[in-house]
Structure 1
């Protein structure tokens, strides 16, 4: 009988042993229709994963066709919306929420496909056991890739490689750009009748600015601001809706009436990794040693006391109010054609692989420890006889010589100690987790050090994701293209995704070991991924108990959001004071928010602390931890074995009761006669193993 036939036989096995028949005479046989067998359990999940990837692909392709048909491209960028900056920000938030939903759906489908590809079949396990090695069951594993068919390994690699660029570019396919204006500041008397520039002898670019103020005064659109609101409106890095300004003061020359205080071009950071200057330093005194942003509280205090003074080149002006020329907001929501095409190609690769898996999968992979227990109870692995107290940790130590005949049967003393959860994770993996955690904190610390302003304040007052003049990355060799900055802004997302993968693997391994330990405490059905029957239970959808999976996913979502607010893409389109585009002052770079960086560090530290607390919990019983090791699981599945009899003794019955895998099971010591005891999963009554007694 081939492997596929054996698996199908396992799936259709009737409960016809005498004990179950007497208790369950009225139960139907397990034979199911072919349609039900196909669309159930993990097969159904795989089909749903394929369908989800196709739906996401259809949405992405439809989006591309729609935007390309409706608008022309400029420098591989297309326009989705242009208008006020608040609307762009809200629309961007909504679309990025949708992108994250689609991305999470696609990555979730891809991860499930990777799990199915990496999970061994019983044939793979038997082959590995025959070579004296073991495979991982129920947990992500690189080890398995060397023992499964090459075709599945290649497909797994394609799914992994296609996930990396998806993390890098998907969130940046749609991005906002801010329209920033240059403006001129005048000082003048309190009058709504602003003269034309030629009437008071002002010429050049300053004349254009005063002419615009004159026009606004004539048509009644000039905005009067009190001093507090005036400071608040102009103390920003990039001016988006307020333009040329008149500071109303009595300190002007009676003959000229209107004097030029300063001209503020669209802000561009100077050379260096970070810039600590101020795009609105005209608001503050000239002799400041700190940045103007740190002086803003004093300015607001002066405004409340009507004592705000602006220091010009030729005179100082005590300001009583302001007259501001409004500007049309021209913020844009754009998309990148190359990045969108990249996402669609990645999506197509994933959808094609998942669909291929759905159609061609015939041998059922063993996805959970419950699947493995069911398989080994149905058809025991003779290579693991006499090793009932084998643990995953022991196997890692003696793997090289476990098949030597004289060491095959090891009677071990049962210690009965309840070990802690971390014992289920290999020492190497524990060290990797600590190192990666330290590296992540170190990277955050470097970014945080970059974000510290010279005065120690400044950037700390910035809101999450807000553009701050002192928190822009700019250097002589810093890339200035959209795609390069997009990749840089999303590198932390890739780093965290890698860390999350390792963290999830550790938590999954410990949770599996904890559930394994429960079988020595109470009788229960095993969790299987393929068409559960009778006492069997369905596997967890997220491979983890929900009390772990939901907090872990919530923490991951919070971390991804905090990271997106910590380092983000900044795109500025510059306009001169005549509302003409000035590409020479455009800016594409990355901004960062130190408060968000600190928050990310705090959440990551909290996650690590929770992992430490979790790993220090004790298992429910002294049952030896199998980890995810296939050999250790197989060794615990010999319910009819008597170690006091030779394997070839006619009284030795190595075949478990038919259908035992469908019954409620418990692990413990079997009632055998002789000096050596034996422990196994069993549907019959078992006893708690005795500490100090030998079991084989």
Structure 2
């Protein structure tokens, strides 16, 4: 096929463009398509008229594409700089939000800080939980913006320049084009590598700390369970006729201890005065309501409970059982003494139960065998299905008096953690600003189109007359270049062939680790939780009910790191899957040039080249991936989260202790596991698609791309016209 002559106006650069002459370019193009595999040079469209070309090229067509590109890319708002500037603006907005919140809370509290902890909200626990959910949703939106902006700039910094590609090929090695790459860091400038590393390291505090800047402080009331009669409630003596295996001294000590919780009715209905002189309101409730009030291990709106029975309570000898602490994890459990127990099942009851959230948070006193085993309220033997028949102390219950306690849950703010997040955010912004200023004339080959245009403008002699494929460069000599001729192969290759086997293996290995971990956590988190999905959903995301707290007390920093470890793992998994998808989409874009002539998609278009607002993953895939990433991180933040527990004394209702631990949400863990499986399944499904047959699979390998980009001599404008 012959190309019609085209007249170009040529400005002689040697004479400073002072004269021009007309020349006639004649080109010939081979019509032999049977050797596509051996000679797959991407060529320009046959014929274009001068007027149309001059109109679309936006410059003189006779200028070399490289000179035109250099002039265009040196403009500040062009090419990759637009995306980097948008990323910088986004990071600065997040920085401003974080700094504004920090200063607002700090100035509001002044010097009155509780261990560098401020309070954003204090009040009703349900409202606190809802606010916590929304705050973490916003935090994860901001975190996703930071992750995406940082990932964009890191990919720009690691993208090789033309000079770096020539140097690498001269050393008989290849680089990645269009994908996130650690390999390229060995071959790019040290300053760019340092900026890349700073962006990477500044992400660690965000992954490990950001979701714990704001956390819930749950109120947990200590309370006593006092089984008694109306006679004692109105000032009478305690009925000890039901005591078994208890000598007089032990009986006297029990009576003295119970008198500590004696209350006296005041003139105000429903109000009582305790032995400390505090006036407290009590609710008189039926048996079923009494049982349900103490469903949670940590109770925030109720306190001491007086179980009013018809007759004397059957009490066993407390000395048969004692509370012991495990050295390994610090948890508490009941141990049986070594000497024999009475024949009447002495293990079933203890004289008086005190909820001690600091040591042994439990609602198991409602079951007969609570000191000997875990309480299963669904067990008909332990708790009757008809709650009105409930008899925890072997005597019928008339009613219960439950102390009303005002809920004071808090949404708190950690200033040291927030400061670390702000500093990390600032480092990211500074790195992006330096990238824009120091490398404003930087010409990286970011997209596949950038690399094709470069090799068409300046064909690489190292890969001339060689047919490269991704498989060959990832074979036995994956770190070096070699020359292998390859025959034409009409086989349609799978998309999964574009990424290397190592990338597939590492990505799905981490995914399997996360899924196994998530499945185990989901199974363990269901202990003590309702099995009905509707009831489980009502537990909520990231909410603390007392039943969903880890039985451990840790430091604040320890709890923060524990709660955010899944965030770091999920961030790495997201980046790994992003790189995997990017590899496959780069392969798809490469294969799209086989059957149809199309202009190159580049970061700085000239001629008929196409501008691009995305790097290598199309918007229709990139946007859902970013949304999934945000939802993923939010679900992770609701699956395992930091919780502070403020323990209130059972008599004074003053703070007696502080606990730092982690809470978990079974439903969020399950949803996180399901979403992760969808993300991983999407990779497998897309990997089963096939590229067009007959096109060598270049992947992101610079050598394979270069080998296919050797236009005929004199064809200097191939890159700025549609190619095939």
- Please state which band the TM-score falls in when normalised by the shorter chain: 0.7 to 0.9
- Of 366, 380, 384, which aligns to 2:445? 366
Which residue number corresponds to residue 493 of structure 2? 419
Cα offset for 1:487? 0.5
Deviations 1:381-430 (A, max 9, x none): 2322212x4212212337589767xx4xx543101111111211112222
Which residue number corresponds to residue 325 of structure 1? 403
Between the aligned partners of 1:101 and 1:323, the Cα distance in structure 2 is 46
Gaps spanning 5+ residues in structure 2: where? 1-12, 14-23, 27-46, 60-67, 240-254, 273-279, 314-349
Q: Please say if residues 421 and 513 of structure 1, whose CA atoms lie closer than 8 Å, have aligned partners that are also in contact.
A: yes
Cα offset for 1:609? 2.6
Cα offset for 1:196? 6.5
SS of the counterpart of 2:474? Answer: helix
- Of 369, 373, 394, which aligns to 1:286? 369
Change (3 A) 1:30 1:296: farther
Residue 131 of structure 2 is aligned to residue 103 of structure 1: no
Deviations 1:341-382 (A, max 9, x none): 111111111111111111122122111101111222222223
Deviations 1:42-61 (A, max 9, x none): 21111121222222222222
Between the aligned partners of 2:541 and 2:375, the Cα distance in structure 1 is 20
TM-score (normalised: structure 1): 0.78
Which residue number corresponds to residue 177 of structure 2? 137
Which residue number corresponds to residue 124 of structure 2? 84
Between the aligned partners of 1:390 and 1:130, the Cα distance in structure 2 is 16
Which residue number corresponds to residue 308 of structure 1? 390
- Of 398, 422, 433, which aligns to 1:344? 422
Cα offset for 1:117? 0.8
Aligned-pair RMSD on alpha carbons? 3.7
Which residue number corresponds to residue 383 of structure 1? 462
- Of 644, 647, 658, which aligns to 1:574? 647
Cα offset for 1:68? 1.6
Q: Please say if residues 472 and 478 of structure 2, whose CA atoms lie closer than 8 Å, have aligned partners that are also in contact.
A: no
Between the aligned partners of 2:383 and 2:723, the Cα distance in structure 1 is 73
The aligned runs of 1:18-97 (5 Å cut-off) are 19-22=47-50, 24=52, 27=55, 29-31=57-59, 37-71=75-109, 72-97=112-137
Residues 391-400 or 216-225, more deviating: 216-225
- Of 474, 496, 502, which aligns to 1:428? 502
Between the aligned partners of 2:266 and 2:626, the Cα distance in structure 1 is 54
Change (3 A) 1:594 1:394: same
SS of the counterpart of 1:175? Answer: strand
- Of 220, 227, 230, which aligns to 2:290? 230
Between the aligned partners of 1:572 and 1:212, the Cα distance in structure 2 is 31
Between the aligned partners of 1:189 and 1:513, the Cα distance in structure 2 is 80
Between the aligned partners of 2:266 and 2:442, the Cα distance in structure 1 is 78
Between the aligned partners of 2:288 and 2:722, the Cα distance in structure 1 is 74
Between the aligned partners of 1:401 and 1:356, the Cα distance in structure 2 is 32
Between the aligned partners of 1:25 and 1:451, the Cα distance in structure 2 is 67
Residue 716 of structure 2 is aligned to residue 626 of structure 1: no
Gaps spanning 5+ residues in structure 1: where? 6-15, 254-259, 271-277, 641-652, 667-696
Deviations 1:635-663 (A, max 9, x none): 222221xxxxxxxxxxxx2x3242x3232
Which residue number corresponds to residue 656 of structure 1? 715
Q: Please say if residues 299 and 308 of structure 1, whose CA atoms lie closer than 8 Å, have aligned partners that are also in contact.
A: no
Between the aligned partners of 1:400 and 1:245, the Cα distance in structure 2 is 73
Change (3 A) 1:65 1:595: closer
Change (3 A) 1:50 1:553: closer
Residue 322 of structure 2 is aligned to residue 239 of structure 1: no
Cα offset for 1:128? 0.9
Between the aligned partners of 1:36 and 1:561, the Cα distance in structure 2 is 40
- Of 355, 374, 387, which aligns to 1:265? 355
Residue 487 of structure 2 is aligned to residue 392 of structure 1: no
SS of the counterpart of 1:81? Answer: strand
Change (3 A) 1:505 1:297: farther
- Greater percentage in helix: 1
Which residue number corresponds to residue 555 of structure 2? 481
- Of 159, 162, 168, which aligns to 1:119? 159
Residues 54-63 or 348-357, more deviating: 54-63
Q: Please say if residues 155 and 180 of structure 2, whose CA atoms lie closer than 8 Å, have aligned partners that are also in contact.
A: yes
Between the aligned partners of 2:299 and 2:479, the Cα distance in structure 1 is 73
Which residue number corresponds to residue 689 of structure 1? none
SS of the counterpart of 1:661? Answer: helix
Between the aligned partners of 2:194 and 2:696, the Cα distance in structure 1 is 35
Cα offset for 1:139? 0.4
Deviations 1:225-265 (A, max 9, x none): 44443322211111111223344554469xxxxxx984433
Q: Please say if residues 265 and 576 of structure 1, whose CA atoms lie closer than 8 Å, have aligned partners that are also in contact.
A: no
Residue 270 of structure 2 is aligned to residue 217 of structure 1: yes
Cα offset for 1:23? 6.7
SS of the counterpart of 2:626? Answer: helix
Between the aligned partners of 2:403 and 2:384, the Cα distance in structure 1 is 25
Instruction: Name which structure has the greater RCO, CA cutoff 8 Å, separation 6+.
Output: 2
Change (3 A) 1:300 1:561: farther
Change (3 A) 1:424 1:28: closer
Q: Please say if residues 209 and 577 of structure 1, whose CA atoms lie closer than 8 Å, have aligned partners that are also in contact.
A: no
Q: Please say if residues 585 and 617 of structure 2, whose CA atoms lie closer than 8 Å, have aligned partners that are also in contact.
A: yes
Residue 593 of structure 2 is aligned to residue 522 of structure 1: no
SS of the counterpart of 2:103? Answer: helix
Between the aligned partners of 1:89 and 1:297, the Cα distance in structure 2 is 33
Cα offset for 1:451? 4.5
Which residue number corresponds to residue 160 of structure 1? 200
TM-score (normalised: structure 2): 0.75
Cα offset for 1:455? 12
Between the aligned partners of 1:526 and 1:25, the Cα distance in structure 2 is 16
Between the aligned partners of 1:523 and 1:639, the Cα distance in structure 2 is 15
Deviations 1:438-492 (A, max 9, x none): 32234335545654759997999665444466654346xxx62111110111111
Q: Please say if residues 301 and 407 of structure 2, whose CA atoms lie closer than 8 Å, have aligned partners that are also in contact.
A: yes
Q: Please say if residues 420 and 616 of structure 1, whose CA atoms lie closer than 8 Å, have aligned partners that are also in contact.
A: yes
Residues 428-437 or 370-379, more deviating: 428-437
Between the aligned partners of 1:110 and 1:401, the Cα distance in structure 2 is 28
SS of the counterpart of 1:24? Answer: helix
Between the aligned partners of 2:157 and 2:265, the Cα distance in structure 1 is 67
